[in-house]
Amino acid sequence: MAPLETFLANRFPMVAMIASGEPNDWLSQVGAWFSQFCAWFAQHWEQFLAWASQPHVIAAATAWVITFCIVCIIILGLGFGPAGVVAGSIAAGFQSFMYAGFTPAAGIFATLTSMGMLGVLMPAVVIAAVVVATAVAATVWLCGVGR
């Protein structure tokens, strides 16, 4: 066996078994590995469920989900949508009051409108919501709510 083949056979025994033409051995090895993986996963899943069912963990997770949803609703509810500024929204009222019909091209309002129309506002909203929700959940966790 060449040095490269020996190296690969030592590092990847499953590949070496398949290449040697021993399918029954390979299949039994995969079955044994899958069985071990299922046992490991079941054990760790039970541990995770026991941890996740504690009241303080549920309180922190609930705070995260609620905060995430509220932040997304607030930011997306401002009125910068895929068709431009949504009629009757906060953004439309702000545009009407501040700019009338003369919105500056390089201003923050025009930039947010452009981001909403191009769809690049959504990742920014999700990132902001994740940051705020994580801060709230960490605060709930550190304050010991539910303990």
Per-residue pLDDT tens for 64-101?
999 999 999 998 888 888 888 989 999 999 989 998 87
Calculate the average pLDDT of the chain.
86
Residue 41 has pLDDT above 90, yes or no: yes
* Domain spans of the chain, in order of start: 3-49, 54-143
Per-residue pLDDT tens for 2-32?
677 677 677 776 666 666 666 566 677 788 8
- Of residues 135 and 76, more confidence is placed in 135
pLDDT band at 45 (very low <50, low <70, confident <90, very high): very high
Specify the pTM.
0.66
Q: How far is CA 78 from CA 32, 94, 110, in A?
A: 55, 10, 14
